[in-house]
């Protein structure tokens, strides 16, 4: 097996490293994320705005059946890119951990604690034979009375990175490049929304443009009533279109 010139000898089991130090099953999981629908999140002065783009395979499908932004707690939201089934399993796990914490301590789970719990179970599925890594990345954001926090939990061992603005999924690199050039500290909600749309548009072909009907937009704001999902007609208004 180890003398094989191709990758076949190293991707038959999760626990076998290649000579380059790679776990091919983890690499395949990361590739599943890259092929998933685009998800973007941006921190601003009072909260976080989330945006995702759906990948429809048929015009007969309804947009509401493709939700990719979920509220976990009053002050915590998760969006994802990658395999839907894997995402739903981790979302259920996150909700269960949040509920357990509330039952024991009588308050909402701290964001750092929830990130630690979810990243630990993701990491667990990269070190044992007979299982495969989760083919999904999560963007998890939360707000408190004084701060906002945004992080990604990726399939490669549950690695966690904090961010001011981030993107995962299809054409995420083009979006992150736009965010790096245009992100500013303590932006207003309006400026954050504009940057979100501009960044997502940067991932599209110029002739094609951004299809508003494929977007899901939500905001978590500590001063404007917490979590809010925007309806399709509200998305158009946010972009200044009617």
pLDDT by residue (tens digit) across 64-81?
777 899 999 999 999 999
pLDDT score for 232: 77
Summarised one tens digit per residue, pLDDT across range 227-241 is: 999 987 788 788 765
Options 1.20.1420.30, 1.10.3720.10, 3.60.20.10, 3.40.50.150; which CATH number does 7-238 get?
3.60.20.10
Separation of alpha carbons 35 and 141, rounded Å: 22
Q: What is the pLDDT of residue 14?
A: 64
Q: Whole-angstrom Cα distance, residue 96 to residue 104?
A: 12
pLDDT of residue 159: 87
Listed as ranges, residues in the chain with pLDDT below 70 are 1-15, 21, 57, 63, 205-209, 240-242
């Amino acid at each position: 097996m180890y003398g094989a010139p191709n990758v076949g000898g190293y991707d038959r089991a999760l626990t076998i490293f290649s000579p380059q130090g790679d776990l091919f099953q983890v690499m395949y999981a990361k590739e599943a994320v890259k092929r998933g629908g685009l998800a973007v999140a941006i921190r601003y002065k009072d909260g976080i705005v989330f945006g995702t783009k759906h990948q429809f395979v048929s015009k007969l499908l309804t947009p509401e059946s493709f939700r990719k932004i979920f509220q976990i707690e009053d002050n915590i939201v998760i969006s994802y890119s990658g395999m839907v089934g894997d995402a739903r399993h981790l979302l259920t796990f996150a909700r269960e951990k949040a509920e357990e914490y509330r039952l024991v301590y009588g308050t909402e789970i701290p964001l750092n604690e929830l990130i630690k719990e979810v990243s630990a179970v993701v990491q667990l599925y990269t070190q044992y034979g007979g299982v495969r890594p989760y083919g999904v990345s999560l963007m998890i954001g939360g707000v408190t009375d004084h701060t906002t926090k945004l992080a990604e939990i990726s399939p490669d061992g549950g690695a966690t990175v904090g961010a001011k603005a981030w993107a995962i999924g299809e054409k995420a690199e083009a979006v992150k490049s736009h965010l790096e050039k245009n992100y500013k500290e303590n932006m207003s909600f309006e400026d954050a929304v504009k940057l979100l749309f501009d960044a997502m548009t940067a991932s599209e072909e110029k002739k094609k443009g951004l299809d508003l009907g494929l977007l899901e937009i939500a905001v978590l704001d500590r001063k404007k009533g917490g979590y809010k999902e925007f309806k399709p007609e509200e998305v158009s208004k946010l972009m200044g279109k009617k």
